[in-house]
Structure 1
Amino acid sequence: MKYLYLSASIAGLLFGGSAVAQDVVDQASAQQLQAQAAGFDDIVVTARRRAEPLQDVPVAITALSGQALQEMGVRSTDDLQKALPGVNVSGQRRDDASFYIRGQGPGIFSFGQRNFTSVATYFAEVPALVSGPGVFFDLSGVQILKGPQGTLFGRNTTGGAVLFEPQRPTQKIEGYVQLSAGNYGYRELEAVMNLPISPDLLSIRLAGNVAERHGFTTSVLTGQHLDGRDYQAYRASILFTPAAGLENLTIIDGRVKDQSGTSAVIRQVNPASPTGALIAPYLAQQRALGVRRTLLPVALYDRQSGFGVTNKTTWEASDAITLKNIVSFRRNRVDQASDFDGTPVNTFFIENVPGERGWQIGQEQFTEEFQVQGKVPSMGLEYIVGYYHELTKPGFPQEVRQSLSGNVSVRRLDYRDQSDALFAHAEIDLTNQFQLSGGFRYTWDKRAAGIGVFNTAGDCTQRVPAGTGPITCPFEASGKFKAPSYDATIQYKPMDRVLAYLSYRRGYKSGGLNLPSPAPEFTAFRPEHVDSFEAGLKADWNVGVPLRTNLSAFIDKYKDIQISQPVVIPGVAITSLVQNAGKATNKGFEFEGSIRPLEILTINGFVSYLDAHSNVTVPGTAAIKGRQTAFQPKWKYGVSGKLDLPVSDALGTLGLSVDYSWQGKVNTNETNAAYLTTYPSYGLLGARVELKDVARSGIDLAVFGSNLTNKTYILGGFPLTSSLGFESAYYGEPRMYGISARMRFGN
């Protein structure tokens, strides 16, 4: 029953304490009881900005509870992907990897500018830079929404949204302390304390997470252990309920990271390229060293600092109207030294400008969202209307030092992005079995950016147009983009615990700016649009044992899809050139299933297929027809099992969790016909053995491991063969194992 109580309490907190809140709690409780009768506990999700059981939402969602995250050993976004059908994680730096969903990725990343992503991440309902460790502690759960999002969420996306929701304060004195240790010098402390300062008036929840781990990749030239982990994170949540139906929740969170940088391992060179010819002699040497040792000639570092404040005020003005306001401020600072080829050759290197500067790049984000949620019971109608505003800028003068083939330059970068939107969504029950829902949003985006390129003496070296025009510092550009987005869904419930739906969604992603740009016609790129069609079936069956099957199939048709290609601009360094590339179609399906053959045993599985072939045309290049879109595996599957076996009062309950996931190979580009780089397929095995509530003491003891077969696999890297003459990669974690002890106290 614990999931039932947790779900009901979340729903109650989200909607306050009046009759409206009680209706939601009663409804969620009744549906939870139905799920338990069918043999499963539903997770309550907020995909439609209110608390609902997962099985009642006509959207393809993968939801993981906080307990499931712990059992699977999820401590970063890299770990998370092993439990998610249709989702991949990749990037260019460890712990900063981004999500790819249904053929759409993190969007266009230009160093020193804000990224307008195809897959947005949210923390406590606010768009946020969520990646790496220091986030996955004291969470109520993670929800992955697939397909275009926008009519209900703050930021428009064409691929999906990932929602991280922290635990809320409760009216109980409770908490825990957990200590973990393992190989590679792994040490971690996690602690939570929940205190009702004044019952039913003021509660606070304090949580902290500190971890260290030695790096598992060693430079044979410097002796540095790369790919280490060293961070401290904290969170304070304050819940104030001064009157019935009125609540105010403030969440303060932060993270500081100071660890060794990401390793780079050379995999491929183009000997016909001048740079590739210099690197070629080291390729055989690197292959002899293996992937856990590199030829990096300098020490690398990764320093980051993040801070955020989110305030949510909810007022139930009546039984039919609820007003909600969400305001937030988030700040991030980054200072990294990165080597892109992993050899002693000076090809492409980024670091901070020497001196007293603390940070290279930054982001300060302010958001304001106001909602009116209402219902008309006599019509079977529920609705939400609202306004969203977002303003983002660096927060300080950004400056980055780059070295390209020995030519050192300093780039000074600035940007200002503003997004405003009006949105509305409604659901109406046509009959007891049919429901129609839909939404509309109109978005206005304003983007401005500037860049200046200087030599080490401080003289401007930037020519606009690149290489031919007059020397100009800074070069500034701006753009305005606007578009509607909308959706419609029809759902049908032929029987209890069975839901079928058809949906259409029109998605939009803002256009942007290429700075620096090789030519005036490439300075700006247009917005991207998608028409998404999805059919789904969510069902709980009784086939002698409880069985759950969730299936969704989709076709996404893109127009003016944004494609990024690395290019070298003389006198400036390397940059990502974004261009609109005509049309593309992605299609596939995702299946998730659960079966409970015994009361103490649950088996889960998933499989996904994605056909995201490149039939686009990028000016100046030729796409390879039929080649899968970059960083998107065609096939992915996974299976996990959980066994809870009561042993004795002295030992408590024995819990055994095992999980295995596999994904197919991925391409790293669609247009380079000379060097077709791929990352091989791989499978990962993990397990956890736990004694829960030993001798009824509130102590849980666990032994855990990940990548138990010590598989060598690639997470991301730098496919720069066409532009710089080489391709390098960074590899996933080797076999990791450890022990943990959690002491729970209070209720």
Structure 2
Amino acid sequence: MLNTDPYNRITLRSAVTRACAILALGGVAAPGIAVAQATEEGASGGLEEVVVTARRRSEGLSRVPISVNALSAEQLLERSIRTDSDLQIAVPGLTIRQTQGNNSLTYSIRGQSADTFSGSPSAVIAYMNEVPLTISGASTFYDLDSIQVLKGPQGTLFGKNTTGGAVLYTSAKPTNELEGSVRVRSGNYDLLEVEGVLNVPIVDDTVLLRAAFNTLERDGYIDNILTGDELGELDRDSGRVSLTISPGERFQNDSVFAYSESGGTNTGASYTFSVYECGETNNGYALNCASSSLYGPFMDTVFGFEGAWAGYLAAHPEAYPEGLAAYVEEQKRLGYYKTQHPSSVEHDGEDWIFTNHTTFDLTDNMQIKNILGVSRAEMDTMQPQLGAPFLTIITGNVDTGRYGNEMEVESISDEIQLTGTAFEGDLDYIVGLYFQDDQADTLWPQTYFDLTPWAPPTTATNNFRITTETQAFYAQGTYNIERNTGIDLAFTAGFRWTVEDVTIEQLKQADAFGAADQDESFEEPSWELGVEWGITDELFTYVKGRSSFRSGGFNGSAPPVDAGATGGGNKFDVETVDDVEVGLKFRGVLAGMPTTFNVAAYKSWIEDVQRVEFPDPDGPGGLASIAVTANVPEMEVEGVELEASLAPTDWLELGVTGAYTDAEFTDGDVSLFGIDYTYSPVANTPEYSGSAYGKLTFMAGEAGDLSLRADLYAQSGFYFSNTADSIAPRTKLDSYELLNARLDWRGIFGTGLSAALWARNLTDEEYFVGGMALASSLGHNAAAVGEPRMYGLELAWEF
């Protein structure tokens, strides 16, 4: 059951704090590094180093001066990490937000994210083979080489400026072996997933081909007792083809084409979480009570005659007779996995991406590389945004007959890099140019407040195109003085200049169609300075300072008024971030045990923070509302992140991850339409999160490898509104814990067969993973529930 007792929440917080303290003192280490048996005397602790590309070159994780988590293909498999939403269990400080459901995800790192309906560029950008992905749809992981999660501002090296971090997906490359695999998973909720890989060397060491596919079906786990639908159904089909051409030692061309289509239903914010009644205040702020007054006995007063509410119920027999405010308790009685959303929840998506890497070694110490990316994605989706049997809001316009939020994004990018070494290898450098053209068409049809027979519903449609053109130049170098001084000490300096031109155009069907196009240009620098010191072969430390930004732009759901949010317009300004990070990494042997330990402490200062709000021009309780993106003056985030593992014996591996994140608006006062708002606390940022795991190897040899792994993840509660202290109270989600396990039998009796039993959320914990705060516009809030217990059997054959 969900843990709602205050004492137990304090216990969770204390447990995570104590675990962090024990790890910091004891020095155990990072699950991002695989533990292997020493094969020779004096081997470096018997540890297999994971190679990462956080600085656009291959380096060992234990010597990279940045907080980065890396997961190899093997680690993804043994932890049963199959989708984006699984990542936060393995990566401390990463939160995967679900605001509008399981098919629409947003990454949050160190308090940095992007609000729904904000129009802001993402604070954390995902890349596939170094090409930025342009849409935040959920995906299925298959045939990946690795996933890397970089934390903090990424401005001087990566394609797009980000203030929170980057997630790097790298697909498996073709090899010079004829090989392949087939994997089948089945489980509860009628899960059936099949994936396959075939690798063919067409011309030995010269032309290599790899093809992979994945198909997935699963029933939903939330029952809509009003319509009979199941929310959370999955139906995804994906395929990928990779071709490597290497006619000589100095030249290589890698091309990858991937296609995916998805269907099913959205979970959405289907749990009615809180509703405000007229007269309620919070810290001196009057709360919006539009929904409760219109959908309840108070309707008689609103319309000015007795019997209005009775007449509404007669026309809408599915409505809850006690009204929307009372439905909050009814939702608790129904539980997490039942809803009464009065509309469709269908989801359809299709996307493809082409990436091409061309590398040429100009000399033994200099290489030129070109990275081309072309992608297109489209999505048509109906989102539950409340879950109660009242039509307060649906994603459809009943007047025009258009239903579903639609998005179509096209992007082309190109990056040219020159990398190399100089001064007898003392200097590593990279110089690059980056270009991207991105066009996003968005259609948001909406219907509010169906009050028939007494009043027709209010409808609105936003339909707009935002075009972003990006040009950037960057350079970064690291100089090591060890050759001349004997001290493994290096200095890093990086700089980037970015120009982004943003244009918004109102399209047909938009309420604002005919308004003049708007455009703005933003030019900003990014920089990095750092020092790194290899104290010993096992111990490494670093300190760095960085600065980056998110471009300003336009909120397409706001009126096309040439003004910022304060003036009721659709414009918002650049967000900037400066941070300092200090890290310590250890990889070696402690007390005879292979051990690794990574810890990073940081502090960030963010100005003009981009946050969405839904102000009501008519004041609290009015029926008119819009979405605007405000620049909140100041925010600070500080915290500590660690990951650790050790191998006490050759049959036991233990590990822990942890993150402490203290995020606050140091100046959160904003005025919209003459009404003062206070932003606090920072949403979607649990203060404490972490996991612990253990892996037992029962046997290894001719019969195969039999192992059992269990992971326990826990996080403290968090808010899903940035204005919970003022206009959006009762928007805090409780803490929760999840237990996952996998029993694996590899290489059964020396064959290519493997089998596994797996389970996620083994204790069937009931919990929330996000929410939709519509407090200021409609006077209600809804939450998104997490998945119940999932379990199944997996069979695989490798050849």
Fold in common (TM above 0.5): yes
8 Å Cα contact 2:395-2:447 kept in structure 1: yes
Matches within 5 A, 1:374-413: 374-378=420-424, 380-394=426-440, 398-405=442-449, 406-413=457-464
Partner in structure 2 of residue 514 of structure 1? 555
Partner in structure 1 of residue 31 of structure 2? none
8 Å Cα contact 1:682-1:713 kept in structure 2: yes
Q: Aligned equivalents of 2:589 and 2:262: distance in 1? A: 49
Amino acid in structure 1 at the alignment position of 2:142: F
User: What's the offset of the Cα at 1:589?
Assistant: 0.7
Partner in structure 2 of residue 212 of structure 1? 217
User: What's the offset of the Cα at 1:131?
Assistant: 5.2
Amino acid in structure 1 at the alignment position of 2:183: Q
Match of 1:643 among 696, 704, 713: 696
* Local SS of the residue matching 1:276: helix
What CA deviation, in whole Å up to 9, does each residue of 1:480-525 have, x standing for no partner? Answer: 1011110011011111121110101011111111334356432322
What CA deviation, in whole Å up to 9, does each residue of 1:61-111 have, x standing for no partner? Answer: 111111111111112111111111111111322132111111111x25437
- The answer to whether residue 271 in structure 2 is matched with residue 271 in structure 1 is no
Q: Aligned equivalents of 1:358 and 1:193: distance in 2? A: 38
Q: Aligned equivalents of 2:355 and 2:691: distance in 1? A: 35
* Structure 1 residues 284 and 358: alpha-carbon distance in aligned structure 2, compared to 1, 3 A threshold: closer
Matches within 5 A, 1:123-202: 123-129=128-134, 134-202=139-207
Match of 2:394 among 345, 349, 352: 349
- The answer to whether residue 620 in structure 2 is matched with residue 613 in structure 1 is no
8 Å Cα contact 2:445-2:462 kept in structure 1: yes
Partner in structure 1 of residue 412 of structure 2? 366
What CA deviation, in whole Å up to 9, does each residue of 1:569-588 have, x standing for no partner? Answer: 78997553212222221111
- The answer to whether residue 250 in structure 2 is matched with residue 245 in structure 1 is yes
Please give the root-mean-square deviation of Cα atoms over the aligned residues, in Å.
2.5
Match of 1:532 among 550, 568, 579: 579
Q: Aligned equivalents of 1:34 and 1:347: distance in 2? A: 70
- The answer to whether residue 104 in structure 2 is matched with residue 60 in structure 1 is no
Amino acid in structure 1 at the alignment position of 2:463: R
User: What's the offset of the Cα at 1:684?
Assistant: 0.5
8 Å Cα contact 1:108-1:116 kept in structure 2: no
User: What's the offset of the Cα at 1:719?
Assistant: 1.3
8 Å Cα contact 1:562-1:578 kept in structure 2: yes
- The answer to whether residue 534 in structure 2 is matched with residue 488 in structure 1 is no
Which sits farther off after the overlay, 559-568 or 541-550? 559-568
* Structure 1 residues 170 and 313: alpha-carbon distance in aligned structure 2, compared to 1, 3 A threshold: same
* Local SS of the residue matching 2:424: helix
* Local SS of the residue matching 1:68: helix
Partner in structure 2 of residue 438 of structure 1? 493
- Equivalent pairs counted in the alignment come to 695
What CA deviation, in whole Å up to 9, does each residue of 1:28-62 have, x standing for no partner? Answer: x9x99999631322211000111111111111111
Match of 2:785 among 713, 731, 735: 731
User: What's the offset of the Cα at 1:232?
Assistant: 0.3
* Structure 1 residues 633 and 212: alpha-carbon distance in aligned structure 2, compared to 1, 3 A threshold: same
Matches within 5 A, 1:583-594: 583-594=634-645
* Local SS of the residue matching 1:37: coil
Q: Aligned equivalents of 1:580 and 1:696: distance in 2? A: 61
Q: Aligned equivalents of 1:700 and 1:297: distance in 2? A: 45
8 Å Cα contact 1:134-1:232 kept in structure 2: no
Partner in structure 2 of residue 101 of structure 1? 109
* Local SS of the residue matching 2:387: coil
Q: Percent identity at matched positions? A: 30
8 Å Cα contact 2:616-2:776 kept in structure 1: no
> RCO (CA 8 Å, sep 6+): is it higher in 1 or 2?
2
Amino acid in structure 2 at the alignment position of 1:487: E
What CA deviation, in whole Å up to 9, does each residue of 1:221-257 have, x standing for no partner? Answer: 1111111111001111000001221000000001100
Partner in structure 2 of residue 542 of structure 1? 589
* Local SS of the residue matching 2:524: strand
Q: Aligned equivalents of 1:302 and 1:422: distance in 2? A: 39
User: What's the offset of the Cα at 1:123?
Assistant: 0.7
Q: Aligned equivalents of 1:32 and 1:502: distance in 2? A: 34
Q: Aligned equivalents of 1:363 and 1:308: distance in 2? A: 11
User: What's the offset of the Cα at 1:709?
Assistant: 0.8
Partner in structure 2 of residue 4 of structure 1? none
Structure 2: runs of 5 or more not aligned: 1-35, 279-288, 296-323, 450-456, 565-569
- The answer to whether residue 705 in structure 2 is matched with residue 653 in structure 1 is yes
Q: Aligned equivalents of 2:39 and 2:749: distance in 1? A: 30
Q: Aligned equivalents of 1:337 and 1:358: distance in 2? A: 5
- The answer to whether residue 490 in structure 2 is matched with residue 449 in structure 1 is no
Partner in structure 1 of residue 352 of structure 2? 307
Q: Aligned equivalents of 1:507 and 1:283: distance in 2? A: 42
- The answer to whether residue 350 in structure 2 is matched with residue 295 in structure 1 is no
8 Å Cα contact 2:504-2:519 kept in structure 1: yes
* Structure 1 residues 213 and 132: alpha-carbon distance in aligned structure 2, compared to 1, 3 A threshold: farther
* Local SS of the residue matching 2:76: helix
User: What's the offset of the Cα at 1:564?
Assistant: 1.9
* Local SS of the residue matching 1:722: helix
User: What's the offset of the Cα at 1:342?
Assistant: 1.1
8 Å Cα contact 2:581-2:603 kept in structure 1: yes
Amino acid in structure 2 at the alignment position of 1:704: W
Partner in structure 2 of residue 465 of structure 1? none
Which sits farther off after the overlay, 728-737 or 84-93? 84-93
* Structure 1 residues 134 and 607: alpha-carbon distance in aligned structure 2, compared to 1, 3 A threshold: closer
8 Å Cα contact 2:396-2:402 kept in structure 1: no
* Structure 1 residues 437 and 110: alpha-carbon distance in aligned structure 2, compared to 1, 3 A threshold: same
Partner in structure 2 of residue 70 of structure 1? 77
* Structure 1 residues 123 and 448: alpha-carbon distance in aligned structure 2, compared to 1, 3 A threshold: same
Partner in structure 2 of residue 85 of structure 1? 92
Which sits farther off after the overlay, 90-99 or 298-307? 90-99
User: What's the offset of the Cα at 1:529?
Assistant: 1.1
